[in-house]
């Protein structure tokens, strides 16, 4: 007996529709007005909470930027780094110094009270990172919204973050996510409001036998680092990456790199790459840094975002529904 072709075609169309899972690689499904009707107060709540927190705890700014950065380079920008529990991304060795989870939770709780089950943790994190820059007098950019939250968070997936590799490998990781060399250098500029654990710079200011030596650092900076990170100091000690301008989002971090005053060895190594060296000079002498940083943050915050049925809206950012 023959099969009615119109019925067969309809059957396959139904299969296609219900098997479709919209996945955005570069944010093409996102929109700046995504919550304009469903939760118009979402951005205002993020802004107000970040502002109040920043007044009491200015270090929340770099913490938010780092949370977004780490989240997006592992399975995309899906807030998987916020999930708590054994073997989650949060407890990976390189993530043990992450901070600011309680601020995201506070924002989420406030939004849930007015718009339950509507705004994703991934969108909240993207907005909070933008506010972190604005609060430190940095540039504003439009954050497109509509991300869904991921359901999987595994420490084993946190393999090689760009910040944990050499410059060449970091550039390769950036390239695989659609970010170019100029984006990479601009995002290094976020170090203008960041800090580093003293344990991460010991090898630059202390010799193996414990005596202080100069390892290619500007002689003016070396004693300052030695004072901030004394021998025998606690493992919790931290030092500003942009000494003298650590609370203002500006280009002084690039000036410091160019004159040999970078705190991190990886930052100082940028001057050894001619194309990057020219970018550093351009960022210091022109207004291009602001433009490139805005572009880079948009691209970063839209890495492999989950939309549609590919994810969920968590009611609690620290656990899946």
Q: Please indicate if the annotation marks 162 as binding a ligand.
A: yes
Count Cβ atoms below 10 Å from residue 4 Cβ, excluding itself: 8
Q: Please indicate if the annotation marks 163 as binding a ligand.
A: no
* Cα–Cα distance list, 13 to 6, 17, 21, 23 (Å): 11, 6, 14, 19
Q: Please indicate if the annotation marks 301 as binding a ligand.
A: no
Q: Please indicate if the annotation marks 142 as binding a ligand.
A: no
Q: Please indicate if the annotation marks 89 as binding a ligand.
A: yes
d(CA 285, CA 97): 34
Q: Please indicate if the annotation marks 246 as binding a ligand.
A: no
**DSSP per-residue codes, 192-239:** GG-EEEGGGTHHHHB-TTS-B--SS--TTHHHHHHHHS-TT--TT-EE
d(CA 308, CA 5): 31
Map tokens 């003298």 to a residue.
Answer: 244
Q: Please indicate if the annotation marks 86 as binding a ligand.
A: no
Q: Please indicate if the annotation marks 250 as binding a ligand.
A: yes
β-bridge mates for residue 238, sequence order: 197
Q: Please indicate if the annotation marks 74 as binding a ligand.
A: yes
d(CA 123, CA 313): 10
Q: Please indicate if the annotation marks 149 as binding a ligand.
A: no
Q: Is 312 helix (H, G, I), strand (E, B) or coil?
A: strand
The tokens for 159 are 């393999």
d(CA 43, CA 99): 21
β-bridge mates for residue 196, sequence order: 239
The tokens for 99 are 């901070």
Q: Please indicate if the annotation marks 123 as binding a ligand.
A: no
Residues annotated within a binding site for Ca(2+): 71, 74, 76, 78, 80, 89, 192, 242, 250
Residues annotated within a binding site for heme b: 191
Residues annotated within a binding site: 71, 74, 76, 78, 80, 89, 162, 191-192, 242, 250
Residues annotated within a binding site for substrate: 162
């Amino acid at each position: 007996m023959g099969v009615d072709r119109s019925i067969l075609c309809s059957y396959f169309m139904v299969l296609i529709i219900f098997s479709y899972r919209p996945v955005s690689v570069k944010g093409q499904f996102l929109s700046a007005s995504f919550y304009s009707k469903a939760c118009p107060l979402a951005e205002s709540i993020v802004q107000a909470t970040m502002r109040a927190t920043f007044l009491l705890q200015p270090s929340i700014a770099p913490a938010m930027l780092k949370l977004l950065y780490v989240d997006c380079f592992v399975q995309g920008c899906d807030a998987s780094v916020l999930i708590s529990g054994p073997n989650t991304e949060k407890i990976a060795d390189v993530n043990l110094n992450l901070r600011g989870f309680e601020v995201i939770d506070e924002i989420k709780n406030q939004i849930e009270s007015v718009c339950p089950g509507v705004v994703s943790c991934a969108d909240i994190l993207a907005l909070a990172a933008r506010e972190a820059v604005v609060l430190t007098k940095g540039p504003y950019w439009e954050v497109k919204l509509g991300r869904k939250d991921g359901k999987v968070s595994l420490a084993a997936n946190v393999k090689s973050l760009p910040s944990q590799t050499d410059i060449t490998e970091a550039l390769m990781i950036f390239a695989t996510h659609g970010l170019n060399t100029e984006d990479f250098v601009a995002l290094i500029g976020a170090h203008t409001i960041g800090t580093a654990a003293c344990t991460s710079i010991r090898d630059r200011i202390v010799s193996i036998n414990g005596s202080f030596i100069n390892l290619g650092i500007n002689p003016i900076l070396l004693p300052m680092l030695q004072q901030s990170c004394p021998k025998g100091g606690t493992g919790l000690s931290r030092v500003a990456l942009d000494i003298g301008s650590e609370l203002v989002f500006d280009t002084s971090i690039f000036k410091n790199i160019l004159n040999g005053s970078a705190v991190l060895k990886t930052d100082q190594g940028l001057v050894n790459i001619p194309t990057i060296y020219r970018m550093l000079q351009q960022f210091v002498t022109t207004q291009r840094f602001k433009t490139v940083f805005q572009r880079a943050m948009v691209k970063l915050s839209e890495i492999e975002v989950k939309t549609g049925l590919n994810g969920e809206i968590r009611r609690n950012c620290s656990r899946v529904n």
